[in-house]
Structures are given as C-alpha cells and as structure tokens.
Structure 1
Amino acid sequence: MGRNADRRRRRILLGHCLRATAVASLLTTLYYLAPLEGGLGVLTVLTLVLGLLAFGLLTVWQVSTIARSEYPRLAALEAMATAVPLFLIVFSATYFMLSETVPATFSERLDRTDALYFTVTVFATVGFGDIVPVTGAGRVLTTVQMIADLIVVGVIAKALFGAIKIAMRRRQGRRLPYDDAEDPDEEP
C-alpha cells in the first residue's frame, strides 16, 4: 500500500471522526442554549415527538447513506456517533421541561446537566438511583425511553449493520485503494 493510499485512509478516518465529534458537540451546545424553560404542556410533547421523528428520519437517511458508502463501517460508526446524541438530548430536554413544570416529578429538581445525566443512566441501564422518577408522568416518560432504548440498540443497530452488508456486497466486484474490511497492516 502506497503513501498516497495511507494519507487518503487517514484523511477519510479523520473526516468521519471530526464530523461525528462536531455534530455531538453542536447538539450538546444547542441543548444547553435552547429555550426549554417553557415547562410541561403541548411544547413538551411536541418536543419529544418532533425530536423522535427527527431521530427516525436521520436514521433512515444514514442507513441509505451507509448502503451507498465507499467505507460503510466508518459511515455506520459516524451514524451512531451522531444519532445517539440526538436521541439522548431529545429525552434530556423532555425530562428537563417536565421537571421545570412539576418539580416533584423526580426525586430532585433537574437542571439540564441532571436531565442529561439521568437520560444517559437510563440509556446505559445502570440507573444509579440518585435520581428517580416519582410521579406517574415521570415513570411513563422513563418507560417510554427504556422501550425506545431497546429499539435503538436492537432495531437501529441491525439496520445499520444490514446497510454495511449491502454496501460490502456492492463493492465485491471492484477493488478500492483501501477497503475498510481488510487489515491495513496486512501485506498484499
């Protein structure tokens, strides 16, 4: 493998990593800057529904992009690194707005960081127990997140891996300068 191919491979890898990092950073920044103090109501439900719709549309678009990608595994990693933060921030914003309106929803009032922390502990299924939903609305929302977590981990991951397989099958007939299925350190 030549120098140019090595440079190209590093540039492509760096591009995927930088885009994923930039999107996750932008989403987090927007979460902290967004005017979410409106509290519970139609806006809260609308935020959750529109956020989950955006997540679904992003995932569908990413699956089709992966299936056409020259480097499907890198594209799938980038997809997960952008879609999962969006998913988590949608629930964090909803928990924050719910806590703003009904402070007794959780064992303590949630600021944005607490809401993000709670969302991640539910997503990771570790549930430390320091923040827990106390009211029915809080428990229903947390249950919805748990079910959505299972869907994200199971169905979405399967769709992404399926898209990788499709892209790899399409490429079988043509040799690329660097195939992300091969070992770059292996001698030809």
Structure 2
Amino acid sequence: MSDPVTARPEHPRSGRANRPRPPAPRPTVRATAQAVIRPLLITAGLVSAYYLVPLNNRGAGATSALLVCGLLGVGLVFAWEVWAIMRSPYPRLRAVEALAATLVLFLMLFAGTYYVLDSTTPGSFSEPLTRTDALYFTLTTFSTVGYGDITARSQAARLVTMLQMSTGLLLAGFALRVLTGAIETGLQRKRSAQPGPPDGTDDAGSGRSSGSEQEVQP
C-alpha cells in the first residue's frame, strides 16, 4: 500500500515583479547648483531682453503677430522642456528650470503685448504704460489680486487681458499636471536603466528548490 501524497507548500518563484524598485539617484551638488543658477540666468536674460528689444512704432498687425507667434513659442518651449525632463537624470531639478523658463517667457510675452498695444492705440489703458507699468499690469493679471491704478479700457486691451487670464489658468493647471507626469516618467526611466541582479540567478535557484522537493511515489 502506497503512502498518501502529502501536500507540500509551494514556494513562489522570485522574479522581476517581486523585486523592490531601486531608488532614484540623488542629485549631486553640481546638479543642484545648476538647477538654481539656470532659472536665475533664464529670468535675467528674458527680463533684459524685454527691456532692451525695441517695441515702439508697431502696428496692430504686428501686435497680433507678436502675440500669436509668442504663444506658439511658449508652447514649443514647454513641449521641449517636457521632453528634456523625461530624458534628464534628475527630472525634478529639470522641472524647476522648465517651469521658470515657461512662466517667465509667458509673462514677458504679455507684458510686451500690452506695451505695444498702448503705444499703437493710446488710451487702451487707464494711463500710458511704460515697460515697467506693462510688466506690473501683467503680474497683477496673472496673480489675480485685482486691479487698482491701471485697468484695461479699450476692447482690444480687454480681449488680450482675458486671453492672458484663460491661458494663465491653463498654464497653472494643465501644465503642472504635464510636468508632474513627465517627472514620473523620467524617474521610472532612471529606475529601469539601473543594473540589477540577473534573472537567471533567481530562476535557477527556484528550479533547484522545486527539484529537490519532488519525490518519487511508489
């Protein structure tokens, strides 16, 4: 009479799915310094260009072309920055530079548009705008703190202001979600690129364990 087959616990095969993901590499001091210095240089460069580039004596068509081409440029810069975040070894630090470049370019674009609009069509605002006044009005509109001494009066100025409000909300909402997704993609890419223990070791070990547990029944 043969002995009854006794149930033996099954040992799960250890595979790639059960391995803990390696942590993302920590940024070096140099990378951290670059993440701080680059946004400052980008901001200084864009603000300097805003004050130095000649914007006077532009027609209405040039104002519209400036706004449309500028918004397309902001979109292209943002798309390139998202691609750079996903390819960067330090996605979080790269996202800081991306946000600074996109946001400052967006603000300088509308400040230049307001300044050109006021110089082309006097009376578009409650008072004549200097470049600093146009930048002040842009920041006031973007931060939604309300208007005080400078307000939009003409229909064209109000249309541009509403366009800035809507695109600013889009930038604050949709763009931040895209940047967050790009950071996660970049971190996953770095984790998958890190070397780990070979698969053959686990498979062979589990094969030997399962082979040793088998018994020949009479």
Higher helix share: 1
Larger Rg: 2
Cα displacement string for residues 22-62 of structure 1 (whole angstroms, at most 9, x for unaligned residues): 11111111110111002341111111111111110000000
Write out the 4+ residue segments of structure 1 that deviate beyond 3 Å after TM superposition. 173-176
Q: CA RMSD in A?
A: 1.8
Whole-angstrom CA distance in 1 between matches of 2:48 and 2:153: 29
**Match for residue 185 of structure 1?**
none
1:127 aligns with 2:146: yes
Tell me if the contact between 1:40 and 1:100 (Cα under 8 Å) persists in the aligned partners. no
> How do 1:41-120 and structure 2 match up within 5 A?
41-120=60-139
Q: How many residues align?
A: 171
- State the one-letter code of the partner of 1:127: G
Distance (Å, rounded) in 1 between the aligned partners of 2:171 and 2:149: 25
**Post-superposition offset of 1:168:** 1.3
Following the alignment from structure 2 to structure 1, what is the Cα–Cα distance between the partners of residues 174 and 35?
Answer: 23
Aligned identity (percent) is 41
Q: Which amino acid aligns with 1:53?
A: L
> Partner letter of residue 44 of structure 2?
S
**Do the aligned partners of 1:27 and 1:89 also contact (CA within 8 Å) in 2?**
yes
1:18 and 2:18 are equivalent in the alignment: no
Q: Is the 8 A contact 1:39 1:99 kept in 2?
A: no
Report if aligned partners of 1:37, 1:100 keep a CA contact under 8 Å in 2. Answer: yes
Deviation at 1:12, TM superposition (A): 0.7
Q: Which residue of 1 aligns with 2:21?
A: none
Specify the alignment match of 1:184 in structure 2: none
Q: Once the 2 structures are TM-superposed, how far is the Cα of residue 103 of structure 1 from its aligned partner?
A: 2.1
1:151 and 2:179 matched: no
Which secondary structure does the structure 1 equivalent of 2:28 belong to? helix
Given the two structures, how large is their TM-score scaled by the length of structure 2?
0.74
Taking the aligned partners of 1:95 and 1:40, their CA distance within structure 2 comes to 13
Q: CA deviation at 1:174?
A: 5.1
Q: Which residues of structure 1 form unaligned runs of 5+?
A: 177-188
TM-score by length of 1: 0.86
1:59 & 1:86 partners in 2: Cα distance?
10
